[in-house]
Structure 1
């Protein structure tokens, strides 16, 4: 099956560790260094995130693509603010200019206040997923049509659409654990993206998404997001994890932000918060930061030596995860360490595992 690694370019070299930075500012030097380091480190793609107060993901991806040659880009994109026909041409153009190195991560949006900042006021989560479903239907039609097409739906009306530019191969990543999200994923996603939970919980979500895709006669890959904390010994790795928790706690207290007790608005974060009921699970799964932040975003990790974390990732691979999105709390330094110490080990373990499976099958 093989394994792919996705890194992260978050606009500047900060994280929850750095005084709780809440508003990202675009640091060109960091973007350049992060793109080149993750290309050199063997990452297949990097995620360029989306937020209602952040730099624009497609433009950052275009810049990073221009200074790299092999690194792929997973461009986070929120449907509903751009007409799907226009978004299809924008993404296809970026794909063509980067020689086929683009994928798109569709972020429907679960927080009403963030949606409102971009003018999306009064829509329910169910309505937003319905809109996303229709949006992706039109977007894919714009990518694939060879004759003018019309579309008449609840959210979009299109007459005589036909794009002159098409992507070479532009995978759709999609996340969300609500029933509406799982249905959209089954219908449209090439890769379903989820956050780092226990093996049991991950196995359950993989089964749900596979069943959804099967209803539409499709198959789907799976991406798991984690924040690995690695060091030369297990003791040092756990000490570093404890230090991260202490610093994040101090930052949040200094900013007057809540320490746990926060109830997130989306199903995925609520699941993650349930996972975070204990700081350590499945031997290596670490949820210390998730406990502090109310499981906001990608906040769980695996802790140990590179060898120990590599074997923990292999456990997820065995239940169907074929993409790992990994990013650290020291963004640039950790990305370099992952490329040097972790990714080669995982690729070696996966190759050995797949070789044995093929031998048994033959």
Structure 2
């Protein structure tokens, strides 16, 4: 089975945990000193380039350029990453509703024309009403998902139509739509969301459906749900899981680092929420992670939920803790379920991007022995979890 690895891009050196304990490296020697607080301008071109190159050198396939109402412009950031690397791709998050779908489609197609095959679209419908309102959107979540559905219909028409097209949807009307620049190969569409609306829309459109790092039974349940939603459209999406590996040369060293990250996270959780206006209480994905955290600190072999519990499950916040070999083994457990994309990011972004080379090599070697269709049987064999 071929595995895609995705890391995280950032324009400013920072860590939401405030980790003062950098990635130790396999030899136990620290590879980066990190204060844990952002410093300097929000956009630091040299740091972004260094981070992107570190991901490329470590064997990552893409980096995620995330989105929020306060973030720097993602298209500009993506272009900088693509221009200053040779093969690294970008998964560019985009929130429908603020840019016309015809314009957004041409923006992605233009990036693809300059950097063929290296751009992908990550659809972020938006689960935080307050963050939507900061950009002037006061629609509720069901409305946003219907808008996303309509948005993606227009985007694909703009990418694929060789003749002018019309479109009459609930949210978008187009007359004579046409783009002179179209992707030579389809731009992959990644999709996230844990609600029923998300699964319904994502099942129709997603090439890759992304999950946060739940226990194996939860991921198996979610794969079944998305496959069922995609089947009426003749689609067979791939699946991604996002996790925060904390590896070290030994299991004891990894847990020592994890406890230090937790200590600093507890100290600065309130500060981070105030600084970034974080509010994930209404997101179904956050609710699921918090339920798992309430059930226990560690699930399966080494899925650690304390960071999720401490931060209110603010996004990708579950970790895998152990030696390099142990963490790789746990990542391969997800691969055995049919997961083909692993989004892994650390608490010391630059140091961890470099350090993850060991994990990536171990996982790719292990995945080579897993049949491409193994996940179908594995998912069916996992007992469903209690739904929320």
Shorter-chain TM-score: what band? over 0.9
| 2:182 matches 1:166 | yes
Inter-partner Cα distance in structure 2 for 1:149 and 1:355: 38
Any conservation in 2 of the 1:23–1:53 contact (CA below 8 Å)? no
Inter-partner Cα distance in structure 2 for 1:110 and 1:356: 33
Secondary structure in 2 aligned to 1:17?
Answer: coil
Pairing of 1:1-362 with structure 2 (within 5 A): 1-18=1-18, 25-121=42-138, 123-168=139-184, 169-252=186-269, 264-277=281-294, 278-339=296-357, 341-354=358-371
Inter-partner Cα distance in structure 2 for 1:64 and 1:309: 28
Change (3 A) 1:355 1:77: closer
Change (3 A) 1:253 1:115: closer
Change (3 A) 1:263 1:185: closer
2:380 is aligned to none
Name structure 2 gaps, 5 residues minimum: 19-35, 375-388
Any conservation in 2 of the 1:196–1:224 contact (CA below 8 Å)? yes
Any conservation in 1 of the 2:12–2:38 contact (CA below 8 Å)? no
Alpha-carbon offset, residue 13 of structure 1: 2.1
Any conservation in 2 of the 1:182–1:209 contact (CA below 8 Å)? yes
TM-score by length of structure 1 reads: 0.93
Inter-partner Cα distance in structure 2 for 1:51 and 1:30: 20
Secondary structure in 2 aligned to 1:103?
Answer: strand
Any conservation in 1 of the 2:91–2:122 contact (CA below 8 Å)? yes
Inter-partner Cα distance in structure 2 for 1:355 and 1:99: 26
Q: For residues 239-261 of structure 1, what are the alpha-carbon distances to aligned partners after superposition, in whole Å with 9 as ceiling and x for unaligned?
A: 1111100001111256786xxxx
Change (3 A) 1:23 1:118: farther
Secondary structure in 2 aligned to 1:25?
Answer: coil
Inter-partner Cα distance in structure 2 for 1:94 and 1:68: 14
Any conservation in 2 of the 1:23–1:54 contact (CA below 8 Å)? no
Any conservation in 2 of the 1:229–1:240 contact (CA below 8 Å)? yes
Q: For residues 206-262 of structure 1, what are the alpha-carbon distances to aligned partners after superposition, in whole Å with 9 as ceiling and x for unaligned?
A: 1100111112111000010000000000011011111100001111256786xxxx8
Secondary structure in 2 aligned to 1:55?
Answer: coil
Inter-partner Cα distance in structure 2 for 1:222 and 1:126: 23
Inter-partner Cα distance in structure 2 for 1:25 and 1:231: 30
Any conservation in 2 of the 1:24–1:54 contact (CA below 8 Å)? no
Inter-partner Cα distance in structure 2 for 1:334 and 1:287: 19
Secondary structure in 1 aligned to 2:176?
Answer: strand
Any conservation in 1 of the 2:13–2:38 contact (CA below 8 Å)? no
Inter-partner Cα distance in structure 2 for 1:299 and 1:24: 26
RMSD: 2.0
Change (3 A) 1:22 1:151: farther
Inter-partner Cα distance in structure 2 for 1:288 and 1:72: 31
Any conservation in 2 of the 1:142–1:163 contact (CA below 8 Å)? yes
1:360 is aligned to none
Alpha-carbon offset, residue 309 of structure 1: 0.6
Change (3 A) 1:78 1:265: same
